[in-house]
Amino acid sequence: MPVDLSGIVTALSWVGWGLIALQSAVALGYAAVLLTARRHIAADEQCPRVQVILCLRGSDPFLRRCLEGLLAQDYPAFDIRIVIDSRGDPAWRAVEEIVHPHVASGRTPRVSVEELRDRPETCSLKNASLIQAYRGLEPDVEVVATIDADCTPHRTWLRELVAPLGDPRVGAATGNRWYMPEDAAWGGLIRYLWNAGAVVPMYWHQIAWGGTLAMRADFVRGTDYCDRMARTLCEDTMLFDVLRRNGRKLRFIPSLMMVNRESCDIPGYFRFCRRQMLIVRYHSHVAIVWGHGLISTGFFYAAILVCLGATLAGRADAIAPLAVSLGCYFVSMLILLVPLELTVRRWVRARGESTAWLTPDKWLRLPAALFLTQAIYGAVAWSLPTAKRVDWRGIRYTFLPGKRLRRENYEPYQETLAEKHSL
C-alpha cells in the first residue's frame, strides 16, 4: 500500500504549528511574570526564625561561594545546619576550612555540621539528610529553608525567600535556577537551552526547586511530608501535591532566579536531564509534562526523517509545508530564548552579578546546540516510560511500583566514583 506522504506532511505540519503556538504562549507568559514582578524584601519584624539546611555529598565547584553567601546573609535570626554524607566525604574538609573560622569567632549565624546517621534504602541520600534535619528542628524554628551547593545566595536571599510566607495561605516559596556557564563547552550550552525550556513548565505546573526553597516549619512537622520523602528520590517535585492536600499554596519568587555558572559535558547533561525528567513522576501533572516531551521530540524526529526520506526519493517538493513548519519551530525556540534571557538578566543585574556570559562565539553556536539539545532530549523523553533506574553521584536507585524507590548500593563519595560537578 503506497504511503500517503501528503497526509503525513499535513499532519506533522499542524503538530509543528501547534507546538509553536503552545510554547510561545507559555514562554511569553512566564517572561511577562519575570518582567512585571517586583522584589519583596522582608523587614526585620517580618523575619521569622529560620533554619537553613545544606545537604552535601561531594565537594561542589561553587561550595565556597555558597557558604560564604550564607554566612553573609542580612537576616536577623537564622541558623545553618549542614548534613554531610560521611566524615570521609571531600565536602567535610572543604566545609571545615570555610566554617571553622566563623564558628571559632562566635559570630552569627550559628553553624552546625553533622554526618548523615541513617541511610534507608527507600529514599535518596539527600532526602535522608533532609529528614534528619527536619526531625531535629528546634521548637522555636518557624521556617525551614533549603539550598543547594551550586547556588550562590546574595545578601538579601533569605529575606526575599521568606517574604511570601507572610501570607498565611502560602506554605512554601521557591526560586529556580538559570545557567550562565563560564566556558563554551557544548554540554554547558545544551544544559542552558534545556533548562531555559524547563523553568517555564515548572512555573505553570507549580514544581518547586529545592535549591532555593522555604517552608513553614509547622507544615513540615504537622503533615506527612517527611513520610512521603522517605519513599522518594527528591524533596521538591512532590511538594505541590502535599501542599494542596493541606490547603496551602506554593509561591514562586521571580527575584530568586539563581545563577549557576558550572561547566558540563554532554554525558553529564544526559545524566542530569534524565534524572530531572524521571523525578517528575512524583508530580500529579507528570502525564502533561512527559506528554509534551514525547510529542515535541516525536515531531522533531519524524519531521526530519520524513523530509530526509522524501528528498532522497526525489519528492522534495511534497514536503515544503513540513520543512517550513520545522524551520519555524527551531527559529521560534531561538527567538523565545531572547525574552527569557533578558528578563532573567534583569534580576541578576539587580543583585550586582555579571550577566556577560553569552559571548559572540556562544551566540553563533546556539543553533547547533539547540539541535543537539532536542536530539538528546528526545532520547531522554522516549526512555522515560520504561526507565527503572537512575544514577546519582555514584548511587543507583531503582523505581518500584507505586512511586516507591529502592537504593541499590552505597559507598562514601569519591571524585572517581561519580561526576565531579553537581549534576
* Average per-residue pLDDT for the chain: 92
Beta strands (DSSP E) in 85-162 are 110-115, 143-147
Identify the band that residue 416 occupies on the pLDDT scale cut at 50, 70 and 90: low
pLDDT digit string, tens, across residues 18-31: 999 999 999 999 99
pLDDT greater than 90 at residue 125:
yes
Angle between helices 5-36 and 186-204 (to 10 degrees): 80
**Is residue 359 a part of any domain in this protein?**
yes
Identify the band that residue 389 occupies on the pLDDT scale cut at 50, 70 and 90: very high
Same domain, 59 and 22: no
**Is residue 414 a part of any domain in this protein?**
no
- Contact, 88 vs 371, CB < 8 A? no
Query: Cα–Cα distance between 274 and 272 in angstroms, integer?
Result: 6
Helix (H) or strand (E) holding 250: strand 249-260
Same domain, 175 and 221: yes
Same domain, 128 and 14: no
**Is residue 57 a part of any domain in this protein?**
yes
- From 244, 275, 306, give the residue that closes a domain: 275
Domain that residue 347 falls in = 5-33+287-406
**Is residue 29 a part of any domain in this protein?**
yes
- From 275, 305, 340, give the residue that closes a domain: 275
Same domain, 245 and 311: no
Say what the pLDDT of residue 3 is: 61
Same domain, 218 and 353: no
Judged on CB neighbours under 10 Å (0-12, 13-18, 19+), 274 is buried
pLDDT digit string, tens, across residues 310-368: 888 888 788 889 999 999 999 999 999 999 999 999 999 999 999 999 888 888 999 99
Q: Give the residue with greater pLDDT, 248 vs 418.
A: 248
Identify the band that residue 387 occupies on the pLDDT scale cut at 50, 70 and 90: confident
Same domain, 239 and 345: no
Same domain, 254 and 157: yes
Split into its structural domains, the chain has a count of: 2
pLDDT digit string, tens, across residues 260-304: 999 889 999 999 999 999 999 888 898 999 999 999 999 999 999
Tell me the whole-structure pTM to 2 decimals.
0.93
**Is residue 416 a part of any domain in this protein?**
no
Same domain, 49 and 12: no
Decide: helix, strand or coil at residue 74.
Answer: coil
CATH at residue 147:
3.90.550.10
Identify the band that residue 421 occupies on the pLDDT scale cut at 50, 70 and 90: very low
Same domain, 157 and 21: no
Same domain, 351 and 303: yes
Please tell me the total number of residues recorded for the chain in this structure.
423
Residues 159-170 have a mean pLDDT of 96
Same domain, 113 and 262: yes
- Contact, 396 vs 271, CB < 8 A? no
Helix (H) or strand (E) holding 345: helix 320-350
Decide: helix, strand or coil at residue 131.
Answer: helix
Cell 521568606, residue located = 162
- Contact, 386 vs 213, CB < 8 A? no
**Is residue 381 a part of any domain in this protein?**
yes
- From 249, 275, 301, give the residue that closes a domain: 275
Identify the band that residue 244 occupies on the pLDDT scale cut at 50, 70 and 90: very high
Same domain, 119 and 161: yes
**Is residue 420 a part of any domain in this protein?**
no
Query: Cα–Cα distance between 164 and 158 in angstroms, integer?
Result: 11
**Is residue 321 a part of any domain in this protein?**
yes
